[in-house]
Chains A and B, each alone.
Chain A
Amino acid sequence: MAFKQTRLRVPHGIGPTKENRRIRSCSSSRRRRGRRGRKRMESQLNFNIENSFDSCYSYCARQALDELPHSFTITDPSISGHPIVFASKGFLKVFGYTKDEVVGKNGRVFQGPKTDRKSVMEIREAIREERSMQINLLNYRKDGTPFWMLFHLSPVFSKQDGRVIHFVGVQVPISPPRRPRWLASGVVRNGANMCEEVDRVCGNTNIMFGSCRREVCSDTPVELSRVLALESVLDDSSRGLGIEETCEASKLERQKAEDAINKIFSVLTRHSELTGRFVCAERHSLPGAGILSSSLNISLGRIKQSFVLTDPHLPDMPIVYASDAFLRLTGYARNEVLGHNCRFLSGADTDFSTLYQIKESIQTEQACTVRILNYRKDKSSFWNYLHMSPVRNASGKVAYFVGVQIEEGCKNQDRNGLCPEMRHCSVVGAVKVAVRSLSMGAGPSRS
């Protein structure tokens, strides 16, 4: 996967460069770290992304979708970073990228300095509430040119457990509107004439502003000056109105988006029957017990340490979330740990009294820190410096327990310079913030 290196090369721990992407899990005699480990991480991510699509709709669906002319992407909220797992041919054409440059990226890379922050927030809220929405949005092509499009977002639900499996995003480019004459002549406000640099804008204009732009294209000086030149041309071409003035999608464009969504969903539902996954465009059942909302998945995906979330309200308190780092540490695959109690980590020499201590803390809804001997999938053991804490949702009651694992005795350098106790706390804090908004009901509350 082509991953453009745009950050500063930093020798220290803080920073997201390749040098600092170390695997948290320690090297035992059987495992290697360093470049091979990183390559393994990347290939694991690539595999997850491909598998996300293929396991649900089968490989044949790719062909069927490629026959559609529309521009659209499919993203997976359960993979860390909420990446694109499929981009249509139409999308690549409209935006000017190749498939490898797009798959694995988050949708924000197509936003830029003039994209309206409020629209970005509305999209985020729609994702959080797992509902469809349409919005006019300014995006940027690979060559840096901005353009308006109608963005239509639709979640893909699993028929069986009501969970959101993917989000489909359709992009319908909007043709620029004809400028009304009174605006073209210049804007006058309170008797003051508009000057070149300072624009006073009357009325309801929806100008967009700065989300930071992830550079997917090259940002050499040549490119940059081209972008700036283009933007100034666009600004001057219409007196008082630049590319920033909002474009409303026409009825025809809205219809195009609806058509696209329908066609895409028909392909996806048909193919999902073949794989047995059965998806649908609307939620048919409330999410089953132990299913996390996509927004919680996305929030938790930002935490790069090893941790799990367990649900004390379900029988045998199973794991409902496991971070990628946890899977790397223990050697298990995600489907092998979800739905299971953590006791599979214990083994022959695990101390009973420590297990009892953990159990007691859970029952009294207290946090605890212990050192416990755990076992990986390959039966090798490691000392787990474990911190467990109850996590409450909007009702104020305990919704989950979070368990943070730090492998002792290994060269576990935290990129943020925090000591192990602090690392425990930073994970717990981030999880608490993420879970706090869950189950926030409206109206009178008696839960």
Chain B
Amino acid sequence: MVTVKQVEDDNLVSKGAIPEQLKCPRFCFRDIRIPLYRFSSQSLLDDSPFEGHVCIPEDEQSALDSLLLAQWEDKMWKGVLRYDVTTSEIKVIFGRRKFIAQLNERLGMDYVPKPEPDKICGQGNLSEFQWTKHQEEFLFYVASGEMAIPELIPSAAMPDGAVLIIINEIPVEYGHVFLVPCGPDSLAQVLDTKSLEMVARFAVEINNCSFRLFYDCPTAGTSHRYFEACYFPSPLPVELTPVDTFFHERRRGMRISAVTDFPIKTLLFESNKKFKRMVEVLVEICCQLQEKSIPYNLLISDCGKKIFLFLQMQNMANSGTLSAWECGGYFLFQSRSEFDQATEETMLNKLRDVSLDDEGFQVVKELCCSIADKFAA
């Protein structure tokens, strides 16, 4: 039987006084009704080993995966996207690292410097026109749930603590979406535990190895926190590179490693138990990085089991940083000549140029150990 629930709207939005946070222009979200996917009540916070959720089938598409792909393809067919990203040629750059290059001529033409969520969720008043324009890009909400199994509600208003999934009309790869946490403190610039947990949970429930999640640390001018995600056709070079573990807490199953021999300094966080603890540690580390003005990016891969942290050079001006997929080894080229002439050496240099130096990396590694110790105690 289908698990579609016709739920009364009022149940989803808390009754009573409207919280202060909702009085900002985002308040308009209440009227937008799109599908809502609720996670099962079994959460990642359990003490139980980080096993596959019983609700997620291993050998077939998960419900969340089907929903995301369906919505994305539907929007593409309806012309919401500026171009069909599958017409962009991709290739592996010849060399040991297997960097991936994409020729995307349309990206240059339509390139919008500020990502969409800023336009929607930023301060200032948005006119009616802008709301209707952007509404078609909203795919669905994701929120935590109470039931033993995930639920899909075909049409609902935004519940508390939801993550809004918005299609990216200038996609980098198939399925490119923004994940915008809409909690009370979502206007804060800093990464928080709840958002990262929700987003990691999302990756786990998608349960598709092609699906990667990204986070670029906020630069000056970004007013809203958001993540991005898409389906990459093959492994990213950083995922194929060996690692060197320097912190391993066996009891809680958390392990921090440095990616060896990769042009940009990268750490890998993994946990096979107490996932929440790892998220807390990671968030604390990121806050400290931000205080030290060290730009960073996150890449969540392997169905939520691996989180890569890319470290870029301390940059007071915070300009010209790379995006997370570039750090991972996936590059976009806007002209055919650039695409044809791309070599592994140029890609290596591109990454090396923005990478944190050895000294800074050592400091960050020490920082990770001390924060992880603090949480372990």
Most chain A CB neighbours (cut-off 10 Å) among B73, B151, B174, B305: B73
Q: Does A207 contact B (CB under 8 A)?
A: yes
Check A425/B92 contact, CB under 8 A, given A204-B244, A303-B61: no
Q: Across the interface, do A417 and B4 meet the contact criterion of CB distance under 8 Å? A: yes
Chain A residues whose CB sits within 8 angstroms of the CB of B63 once the complex forms = 14, 415-417
Q: Does A426 contact B (CB under 8 A)?
A: yes
A404: min CB distance to chain B, Å? 11
Q: Across the interface, do B61 and A13 meet the contact criterion of CB distance under 8 Å? A: no
Chain A residues whose CB sits within 8 angstroms of the CB of B68 once the complex forms = 429
Digitize B230-270: 1 where CB-to-A-CB distance is under 8 Å, 0 elsewhere: 01011100011011111111110101000000000000001
- The B-contacting residues of A in range 170-229, CB under 8 angstroms, are 197-207, 209-214
Complex alpha-carbon distance, A16 and B52, angstroms: 13
Chain A residues whose CB sits within 8 angstroms of the CB of B93 once the complex forms = 442-443
Check A197/B66 contact, CB under 8 A, given A304-B60, A395-B89, A417-B2: no
Q: Does B3 contact A (CB under 8 A)?
A: yes
Which of B57, B71, B88, B255 makes the CB contact (< 8 A) with A422? B71
Q: Across the interface, do A113 and B60 meet the contact criterion of CB distance under 8 Å? A: no
Chain B residues whose CB sits within 8 angstroms of the CB of A414 once the complex forms = 2
- The B-contacting residues of A in range 398-447, CB under 8 angstroms, are 413-419, 421-423, 425-426, 428-430, 432-433, 436-437, 440-445, 447
Q: Across the interface, do B249 and A432 meet the contact criterion of CB distance under 8 Å? A: no
B293: min CB distance to chain A, Å? 26
Most chain A CB neighbours (cut-off 10 Å) among B1, B243, B376: B1
Complex alpha-carbon distance, A303 and B62, angstroms: 10
Q: Does A288 contact B (CB under 8 A)?
A: no
Chain A residues whose CB sits within 8 angstroms of the CB of B149 once the complex forms = 8, 10, 12, 14-15
Complex alpha-carbon distance, A117 and B60, angstroms: 20
User: Which residue of the partner chain A has the closest CB to B148?
Assistant: A8
Check A440/B152 contact, CB under 8 A, given A200-B248, A426-B73: no
Q: Across the interface, do B255 and A207 meet the contact criterion of CB distance under 8 Å? A: yes
Complex alpha-carbon distance, A121 and B67, angstroms: 26
Q: Across the interface, do A121 and B302 meet the contact criterion of CB distance under 8 Å? A: yes
Q: Does A125 contact B (CB under 8 A)?
A: yes
Q: Across the interface, do B3 and A8 meet the contact criterion of CB distance under 8 Å? A: no
Q: Does A108 contact B (CB under 8 A)?
A: yes
Complex alpha-carbon distance, A124 and B58, angstroms: 15
Chain A residues whose CB sits within 8 angstroms of the CB of B3 once the complex forms = 12-14, 417
Q: Across the interface, do B2 and A443 meet the contact criterion of CB distance under 8 Å? A: no
Which of A14, A108, A396 makes the CB contact (< 8 A) with B89? A396
Chain A residues whose CB sits within 8 angstroms of the CB of B272 once the complex forms = 113-114, 209-210
Chain A residues whose CB sits within 8 angstroms of the CB of B271 once the complex forms = 209-210
Complex alpha-carbon distance, A15 and B151, angstroms: 10
Report the contact-size class of chain A (Cβ under 8 Å from the partner). Answer: 35 or more
Chain B residues whose CB sits within 8 angstroms of the CB of A417 once the complex forms = 2-4, 63, 152, 154
Q: Across the interface, do B73 and A432 meet the contact criterion of CB distance under 8 Å? A: yes
Q: Across the interface, do B52 and A425 meet the contact criterion of CB distance under 8 Å? A: no
Q: Does A242 contact B (CB under 8 A)?
A: yes
Query: How many residues does chain B have at the interface if contact means C-beta atoms less than 8 Å apart?
Result: 81
Complex alpha-carbon distance, A39 and B373, angstroms: 54
Q: Does A392 contact B (CB under 8 A)?
A: yes
Q: Across the interface, do B59 and A302 meet the contact criterion of CB distance under 8 Å? A: yes
Chain A residues whose CB sits within 8 angstroms of the CB of B251 once the complex forms = 197-198
B275: min CB distance to chain A, Å? 10
Q: Does A42 contact B (CB under 8 A)?
A: no
Complex alpha-carbon distance, A334 and B2, angstroms: 29
Q: Does A11 contact B (CB under 8 A)?
A: yes
Chain B residues whose CB sits within 8 angstroms of the CB of A394 once the complex forms = 89-91, 233
B370: min CB distance to chain A, Å? 10
Chain B residues whose CB sits within 8 angstroms of the CB of A235 once the complex forms = 250
- The B-contacting residues of A in range 365-412, CB under 8 angstroms, are 367, 391-392, 394-396
Complex alpha-carbon distance, A443 and B271, angstroms: 37
Q: Across the interface, do B1 and A11 meet the contact criterion of CB distance under 8 Å? A: yes
Q: Does B33 contact A (CB under 8 A)?
A: no
Q: Across the interface, do A199 and B74 meet the contact criterion of CB distance under 8 Å? A: no
Q: Does A354 contact B (CB under 8 A)?
A: no
Which of A117, A201, A212, A423 makes the CB contact (< 8 A) with B52? A212
Q: Does A43 contact B (CB under 8 A)?
A: no
A9: min CB distance to chain B, Å? 10
A93: min CB distance to chain B, Å? 26
Q: Across the interface, do B246 and A200 meet the contact criterion of CB distance under 8 Å? A: yes
Chain A residues whose CB sits within 8 angstroms of the CB of B210 once the complex forms = 433
Q: Across the interface, do B94 and A442 meet the contact criterion of CB distance under 8 Å? A: yes
Q: Across the interface, do A418 and B66 meet the contact criterion of CB distance under 8 Å? A: yes
Which of B55, B70, B94, B306 makes the CB contact (< 8 A) with A8? B55
Q: Across the interface, do A433 and B69 meet the contact criterion of CB distance under 8 Å? A: yes
Q: Across the interface, do A426 and B231 meet the contact criterion of CB distance under 8 Å? A: no
Chain B residues whose CB sits within 8 angstroms of the CB of A419 once the complex forms = 154
Check A16/B57 contact, CB under 8 A, given A210-B50, A210-B270, A441-B91: yes
Chain A residues whose CB sits within 8 angstroms of the CB of B88 once the complex forms = 396
Chain B residues whose CB sits within 8 angstroms of the CB of A343 once the complex forms = none
User: Which residue of the partner chain B has the closest CB to A212?
Assistant: B52
Q: Across the interface, do B91 and A207 meet the contact criterion of CB distance under 8 Å? A: no
Q: Across the interface, do B86 and A396 meet the contact criterion of CB distance under 8 Å? A: yes
Q: Across the interface, do B253 and A440 meet the contact criterion of CB distance under 8 Å? A: no
User: Which residue of the partner chain B has the closest CB to A392?
Assistant: B86
User: Which residue of the partner chain B has the closest CB to A22?
Assistant: B1
Complex alpha-carbon distance, A443 and B99, angstroms: 10
Check A440/B73 contact, CB under 8 A, given A15-B55, A199-B249, A213-B51: no
Which of A200, A395, A415 makes the CB contact (< 8 A) with B247? A200
Subset of 5 A-B contacts with CB under 8 Å: A11-B1, A13-B1, A125-B235, A418-B67, A426-B69
18 extra A-B contacts, CB within 8 A, seeds A209-B305, A419-B154:
A7-B54, A8-B54, A13-B1, A13-B4, A14-B63, A121-B302, A124-B209, A125-B235, A125-B240, A198-B376, A199-B250, A201-B248, A303-B60, A414-B2, A415-B63, A429-B69, A436-B174, A445-B339
The 6 closest A-B pairs by CB, nearest first: A429-B69, A212-B52, A12-B3, A437-B233, A210-B272, A426-B70
Residues on B close to A: CB < 8 A?
A: 1-4, 49-52, 54-55, 57-61, 63, 65-74, 77, 84, 86-94, 100, 103, 148-152, 154, 173-175, 208-210, 231, 233-235, 239-240, 242-251, 253, 255, 270-273, 302, 305-306, 339-340, 369, 373, 376
